[in-house]
Structure 1
Amino acid sequence: MKKRSIFWAALFFLSLGVIVYTFTGLFSSHRLKDSPNVLIITMDTTRADHLGCYGYDKIQTPHIDAAAKEGVLFEEAFSVQPVTLPSHCSIFTGKYPFSHGVRDNNIYRLAEENLTLAEILKERDYVTAAFISSYILDRQFGLTQGFHFYNDRFLKPKQKGRLPIDRRAAEVSILACKWLDTFKEKKDERPFFLWLHYYDPHADYDPPSPYKEAYPNPYDGEIAYMDDWIGYVFDDLKLKDLWDNTIVVLVADHGESLGEYGEQTHGIFIYRPTTNVPLIIKYPEKLPQGVRSKERVSTIDIMPTVLDLLGIKAEEKFDGQSLISLIKDKRGINERAVYSEAFIPKGFNWSELKGIRKGKWCFIEAPRPELYQIEPGEKELESLIGKYPQQAEEIKSLLYAMLTETQQAKTEQVAVNEEMIERLKGLGYFVGGGQGGEEITTSQQDPKDMIKLFALYQRANGLVENESYGQAVALFEKIMEQDPDNPRFLMESADININLNKFKEAEKHLKHAVSIKGKDPRCHYLLGLCYENWDKTDMAIKEYKEAIALNHNHFLAYFHLGLIYTNTGQWEKAEHAFLETRRIKPDDVSTLNNLGYIAIKGKNDFQTGIDLIKQALKITPQNQTLLSSLGWAYYNVKDYKNAVTYLEAALALEPDNRMFIQQLKAIYKALGDKERLKQLEKREKFLEAV
């Protein structure tokens, strides 16, 4: 294990108060005898064939390899989806996406009606905790179900712009081991269920030193770094004498194309590079050690397998099955049919992909269907659908039977807000994925034909991230020449044009998008944003209301309606709009600030306004806008002492803000403090000169 930095030790101890306080009260003296602990580690974006234990000789992954020697390694394990959220929902429900309802990373939430592994174990007196590493698995997306503690607030996050989007493996492992310390200190004899999620192998690949220097391929460097911090947890379990009595599951949510099939990352295709994942299960008491299974299995099998190992018979019907009898009986290779899908293409108005693997066949339903004859370990190289049409029809019928015979889940959508959009884009994902429904649309474009265009789209978004807006617009125009009726490209291009104040161009693209995809709330929201910035207020209101009619939880549409009504002095309508944003997101500080302003300015109710702004300030104490709002509210009720306190704090955070300077000048003038007034006037003149 590499030497830890002093910084991490400091960070570790700084976090203790929070962690210990969080766990107080979770532990009791109630005893659940002889039940093993459960540790599930999900490794984001990790290809099976890039681990040492799977035969890759260009990397060192000693800790994962050692776990494989103590357990069962599955060579032919497949993910249900090549993106994070749907895949994790399947791991923890034992169901395919069409059963649990989550089909993409961005607008979906796992519905409460789904029963999770954490809920079952919590009901049986397990102490449950999760430490996740990416905003993709934020609590709002529904995977908190059953967890006593769900740590998705990052201490030292990686940033994209102003927002935290993910964190390093080191932070997850250190906090998880502190959780285990607390568990042991409380002398609680109940078993625990611990889920650790590591995001490091996900693009952009930027491993820390010395892994950056040790590995020419930065993707491998990220995996090696993650392996060391997984080893940190394993070592800690051994030191605490917990290792032997802990079921350990190591699995990836999906893989990575790394340029194969023309795909740089993941999400579009369901070929082997993005769906074949490492799966290792260790529990020597009931499983053999050092076994390599060639049976084709799915990540939906993890939950029923863990429950089987624990001797728990759940009433819930799973799409997956326990792998225990399969391991012991050693049935014939590849008898099992497993399913995978990709819904990100649907968000581009291309066809989604749905595929099934059975025996030596892999069938993918698409506008141009594909059939591959493959042996274990082989990739899909040449479609044989023309050569074996009867076999294709048979396996296609099996796919359709699987989809139609399973009860379809009700889908739930999360509230879309600006922060979500910014974070998802920072992670390389884009709001507005596929909608529900099991019809397989074959009239849309085939992703195979659009992958080069998708690569251009990714490059255009990289230009936006670097604020090269002119180049981005030019590239989007080139993209739309090839796919002129693509609502995603039309909306993204319009969004950039709005930022460039090119409203006529944005309107043209958005009207075209609405004509194609009129029931997409984001089309109407962006059109409203275009008109709002264009000072066409009535038209903006109409489009925002249309977006809300299509998605009653559309945070941004309500928020912008609130701004319009506030700016036009329609206080009652403004308050209604912001009460809706508060319903959707109770702790949104901008909402609380605006409601405070409406109370003060529209109702002359200074006390309510001050109370609302104080609520917001408790959530983000170092927010200069809130500090300024509160200071100015106190000035208006002639509480100059508090007014000075809050406005000076705001100015300290943003020393060149002229509005703060002007507000403070007014206060010091009222107080007769000529010295401070001169200082502020001097600063103001300096800023004007600059």
Structure 2
Amino acid sequence: MRRALLALALLTAAACAKHRPNVLLVTFDTTRADRVGFAGAFASGHPGVTPSLDALAKTGTAFTTAIASQPLTAPSHASILTGLQPFHHGLRNNGAFVLDASHATLARRLHDAGYATHAIVASYVLDHRFGFDQGFDAYDDDLGGGRELGARAIADKALRWLALQKPERPFFLWLHFYDPHAPYTPPADVAWAFPNDAYAAEIHYADRELGRVLDALRAAHALDDTLVVFTSDHGEAFGEHGERGHGLFVYDETTRVPLLFAGPHVPRGRTIDTVARHVDLVPTILDLLGINAQNLDGTSLFADKSARRAYSETFAGRMNFGWSELRSLRSDAARVIRAPRAEAYDVRGDRAERHNLYGASLSRESRSLFAQLDAIAASDAFRGNASAPVDEETRRKLAALGYIVSTAPRDATNAADPKDRIAAWQSYGHAQELLRTRQFDAAAAELRALQASESQSNAVASLLAQALALGGHRDDALAVLQHAVAREPSNTAFVIPRAELLRDAGRLVEAEALLRETQRLDPSSSAIAAALGDVLNRSGKSAEALQLLEEAHRRDPKNHAVAYNLGVLYERAQRLPDALAMYTLAVRADPSHSMSWNNLGSVLDRTGHRREALAAIAKAHRLDSDNVDATYNLGALLFESNQPKAAIPLLADAARRRPDLLVARMRLAYALERSGDTTRAVAMWRDVAARQPRAWAKVASLELQLGHRERAQDALRRGIALVGTPLVEVAERDAGLRTLLYPPDSR
């Protein structure tokens, strides 16, 4: 009976779904409202940036005063996807939090209503590991090894997916375009049209590629049956209040975003200037689809016409530097900000929010906003308990995008006002840019100076240690991390990098002691278990490492670092099926980790799957061309697959970057020989022979082929002098070399 009822429920959902429109949710990263035509670009002197969106707006309803809940990507998208404020969904910063499964996403609600659900995201900040994949049939966060995916690639993926959809089932597709985020590097064919505004060019590029998707839906006669919703996660500051970028403040330049609805049941050609909120998106979409919406912080923008107050917050200053958090409420008439020095603005008469009215005669509206804001703060029990374990690989990827990651919520008692720390914020951003452009010593100098005023900042200490280590100053990096660990002994942001530096310096006993102490403080940490297992294995304690990692894997089966290190142990123990299983798990957990693909390819080759091995190791090399293991392995496999010419540049690169890797030089010599380049092959074999004297026989043989008999004799004599009888025996078995041993005129 229960099965029958379930089947009936599913059939009912499917039947209802057939009569519901498709849903296309589009989010542009870092796009402020006054750069989008329908939301105010023309008034601000930036016309023509978003022609695709402007054309769509004419067929729908545009909201020009939509307010983001957070000026950071992950928390803001969590509000967009759940209809909940940050103090309810729990994400307060990028990278350090996971969206809990108890908070139903729009994807889950639509999936339950019979929709095919798919997401294509363009930045690691929205990786599935942070919980954004909830409710999606497939969540495409494969960035191909890069820091982000460009708009063309996002549109291409969308077009391929849309081509496979069946008309009898509606779809929900979320597309995320990251291009407007710094650094601004628009394609040349777009940049020329905006010669002095690369930011606008990036927005235009994303708009153009979105236009391809809309055109495809239109050509398939599906656009009229598709509810299109467009917004941005947050804006971007260009010095209006001293900030450049986003994350520190909550003024309009970073929280006012474009918002557009178009499609079935949406009023056409309307522009609404009153406040709308990100938390209103989910209830509005569900209302337009006729799906019940409960337990949400927002309400339908079309069903509920009452005036709204938009909440915004940022905890970036608190979590990363120990400064105060900022909370804000904005209405149609006013914005108030609770900070150590509170702020109040008349946003109708002072749209730039330049004249702080706090301390003067506050309006009744501002007093009411402050009262509501203080009530929210009083009920917010934020303690950081939703924080995710942040491994070093995650930290590096987010740092490469310019994001600071801190897992420790700093005590805000007597905390500094971020307005007084804007110079420090900008200095930190400059150091990040120096690091991104590989100016390690300059970055370290900037951070040393910054640390004088921000001595308690986790973010500064972490980035300084990274700059020092990359600049070759390992002992200095260790000293910085030692001080940080003493301050926060369970903070993996410091413990794991220090343990890795100790490990790489051969100081395994110290690394083990550090990790054991941290494990005592936090026994459930998978990141610590993975790091400790690696150190134990390198210390010859493989049995203990295996037990530790297997326990961690049972506790956290999706953890990438645990699966990868288990794979290493199984491979060394010749448990190849188990190693294959672990490496497969590892690449699923983190498709951008080059060594996981490299090791997977190695085991695939050893188990007789050459073609799959080549594909895996080729991906490892694409993901990280600096990975010498992957470079060498790909060259070796190509050589063994009778592709010597393709193997040569890879083997040459590996030999150049790893002079100690003799096998790379030997395979390169063979590849040159097999490809017919005997002259270069001889030179490479001479290089090999300098460290492996038996190779002088090979040098002699090739010199003979080139007609250089005297050189051949000299090479063979040198080899025999070093190796003795074994090399004589080799020469006697070779017809050509035998003539060098026993010339015809010597008989």
Given residue 324 of structure 1, which amino acid in structure 2 is its aligned partner?
A: F
Amino acid at match of 1:595: L
Q: Secondary structure at 1:201's aligned position in 2?
A: coil
Q: Which residue of 1 is the match for residue 687 of structure 2?
A: 686
The equivalent of 2:704 in structure 1 is none
In structure 1, which of residues 206, 210, 213 is the aligned counterpart of residue 189 of structure 2? 210
Q: Which sits farther off after the overlay, 526-535 or 86-95?
A: 526-535
Deviation at 1:564, TM superposition (A): 2.1
2:173 counterpart of 1:194: yes
> Radius of gyration: which is bigger?
2
2:404 counterpart of 1:430:
yes
Are the counterparts in 2 of residues 541 and 561 from structure 1 also a CA contact under 8 Å?
A: yes
Is the Cα contact below 8 Å between 1:624 and 1:654 reproduced in 2? no
Matched residue, 1:48: 33
SS in 2 for 1:347: helix
Partner Cα separation in structure 1 for residue 161 and residue 398 of structure 2? 29
In 2, Cα distance between equivalents of 1:441 and 1:583: 36
In structure 1, distance between residues paired with 2:402 and 2:359: 36
Relative distance call for 1:566 and 1:305 in structure 2 (3 A) is same
Equivalent in the alignment of 1:357: 330
Superposition pairs of residues 54-453 of structure 1, within 5 angstroms? 54-57=39-42, 58-60=46-48, 61-154=50-143, 157=144, 163-183=145-165, 186=166, 188-215=167-194, 216-283=196-263, 285-314=264-293, 316-326=294-304, 335-345=307-317, 346-375=319-348, 378-388=351-361, 394-404=368-378, 412-432=386-406, 435=409, 441-453=412-424
Are the equivalent residues in 1 in contact too, given 2:481–2:494 (CA < 8 A)?
yes
**Structure 2 length normalisation: TM-score?**
0.75
Does the 8 A contact of 1:205 with 1:222 survive in 2? yes
Q: Distance in 2 between matches of 1:244 and 1:434?
A: 48
Rounded Cα–Cα distance in structure 1 between residues aligned with 2:332 and 2:581? 65
| Corresponding letter in the other structure for 1:386 | G
Deviation at 1:271, TM superposition (A): 0.6
Q: How far, CA to CA, are the matches of 2:597 and 2:244 in structure 1?
A: 39
CA distance in 2, matches of 1:664, 1:606: 28
Question: SS of the residue aligned with 2:337?
Answer: strand
**Greater RCO (CA < 8 Å, at least 6 residues apart):** 1
Letter of the 1:347 partner, please give it. Answer: N
Is 1:96–1:319's contact at 8 Å kept on the other side of the alignment?
yes
Q: Is the 8 A contact 2:283 2:298 kept in 1?
A: yes
Q: Aligned partner of 1:325: which letter?
A: A
- Which residue number corresponds to residue 491 of structure 2? 520
Partner of 2:618: none
Deviation of residue 468 (structure 1)? 2.1
Secondary structure in structure 2 of the residue aligned to 1:164: coil
How far, CA to CA, are the matches of 1:309 and 1:343 in structure 2? 34
Task: Report how many residues are paired.
Answer: 626
Q: Distance in 2 between matches of 1:249 and 1:488?
A: 36
CA-based RMSD of the aligned residues comes to: 3.9
Q: 1:463 aligns with which of 434, 438, 452?
A: 434
CA deviations on 1:176-216 (whole Å, 9 max, x unpaired) are 12222221xx4x41221111111111111111122111102
1:600-679 maps to which residues of 2 (within 5 A)?
600=574, 653-655=650-652, 656-657=654-655, 661-662=662-663
**CA shift at 1:317, angstroms?**
0.7
Distance in 2 (CA, whole Å) between partners of 1:247 and 1:37 is: 6
Q: How many Å apart are 1:415 and its aligned residue?
A: 4.0
Residues 1:595 and 2:569 are matched in the alignment: yes
- Once the two structures are superposed, the pairs formed by residues 16-55 of structure 1 within 5 Å of their partners are 32-55=17-40
563-572 vs 500-509, greater mean Cα deviation: 500-509
Say whether the 8 Å CA contact 1:111–1:411 is kept in structure 2. Answer: no
CA 1:606 to 1:76, structure 2 compared with 1: closer, same or farther past 3 Å?
closer
Superposed, which structure 2 residues align to 1:549-560 within 5 Å?
A: 554=525, 556-560=527-531
Q: Distance in 1 between matches of 2:295 and 2:309?
A: 17
Counterpart Cα distance in 2 of 1:236 and 1:611: 40
Instruction: Work out the CA distance in 1 between the residues paired with 2:118 and 2:425.
Output: 38
Task: Check whether the contact 1:336–1:358 (CA below 8 A) recurs between aligned residues.
Answer: yes
Q: Is the 8 A contact 1:571 1:598 kept in 2?
A: no
Question: Which residue is 1:25 aligned to?
Answer: none
- C-alpha change, 1:663 and 1:487, in structure 2 (3 Å) is closer
Measure, in 2, the Cα distance between the counterparts of 1:409 and 1:350.
15
> 1:379-412 CA deviation, whole Å, 9 max, x = no partner?
2112121113696665332113234557979954
Report the secondary structure of 2:146's partner residue: strand
Residues 86 and 548 of structure 1, relative CA distance in 2, 3 Å threshold: farther
How far the C-alpha of 1:322 sits from its partner, in A, is 0.9
Q: Quick one: distance in 1 between partners of 2:295 and 2:409?
A: 25
* SS of the residue 2:308 aligns to: coil
Q: 1:488, CA displacement in angstroms?
A: 1.9
Describe the SS at the equivalent of 2:344. Answer: strand
Could you tell me how far apart the structure 1 residues matched to 2:105 and 2:587 are?
A: 36
Aligned amino acid, residue 503 of structure 2 = E
C-alpha change, 1:535 and 1:380, in structure 2 (3 Å) is same
| Aligned partner of residue 171 in structure 1, secondary structure | helix
Greater Cα offset, 484-493 or 138-147: 484-493
Map of 1:15 onto structure 2: none
> In structure 2, how many angstroms separate the alpha carbons of the residues matched to 1:596 and 1:172?
37
Identity %: 31
8 Å Cα contact 1:85-1:136 kept in structure 2: yes
Pairing partner for 2:557 from 583, 600, 617: 583
Deviation at 1:479, TM superposition (A): 1.1
Larger deviation, residues 587-596 vs 40-49: 587-596
**Relative to structure 2, which stretch is displaced further, 488-497 or 131-140?**
488-497
Code of the aligned partner of 1:520: N
Cα 1:689–1:384 change in 2 (3 A) is farther
CA distance in 2, matches of 1:115, 1:495: 38
Amino acid aligned to 1:686: D
Contact 2:249 2:314 in 1 (8 A): yes
Q: Conserved in 2, the CA contact under 8 Å of 1:71 and 1:290?
A: yes
**Who is 1:563 aligned against?**
534
AA paired with 2:331? K
| 1:689–1:373 Cα change, 3 Å | farther
Supply the distance in 2 between the matched residues of 1:368 and 1:687 (Cα, whole angstroms): 70
1:485 matched residue in structure 2: 456
What CA distance in whole angstroms lies between the structure 2 residues aligned with 1:349 and 1:38?
Answer: 41
- SS in structure 1 of the partner of residue 298 of structure 2: coil
Task: Give the C-alpha shift of residue 63 in structure 1.
Answer: 1.3
1:259-286 Cα deviation digits (max 9, x unpaired): 2212221111111000000001113x53
User: C-alpha displacement at 1:441, in angstroms?
Assistant: 2.5
CA distances 1:478-523 after superposition (whole Å, capped 9, x unpaired): 1112222323212221233344554553344334334544443312
* Structure 1 Cα separation of the partners of residues 91 and 584 of structure 2: 37
Which range is displaced more, 474-483 or 427-436?
427-436
Query: Matched residues in 2 for 1:686 and 1:633: separation?
Result: 33
Query: Is residue 472 from structure 1 mapped to residue 443 from structure 2 by the alignment?
Result: yes
Report the TM-score, using the length of structure 1 for normalisation.
0.81
Output the CA distance in 2 between the equivalents of 1:654 and 1:610: 25
Given residue 95 of structure 2, which amino acid in structure 1 is its aligned partner?
N
CA distance in 1, matches of 2:229, 2:266: 12
Whether contact under 8 Å (2:583, 2:599) holds in the other structure is no
Cα distance in 2 for residues equivalent to 1:359 and 1:617: 48
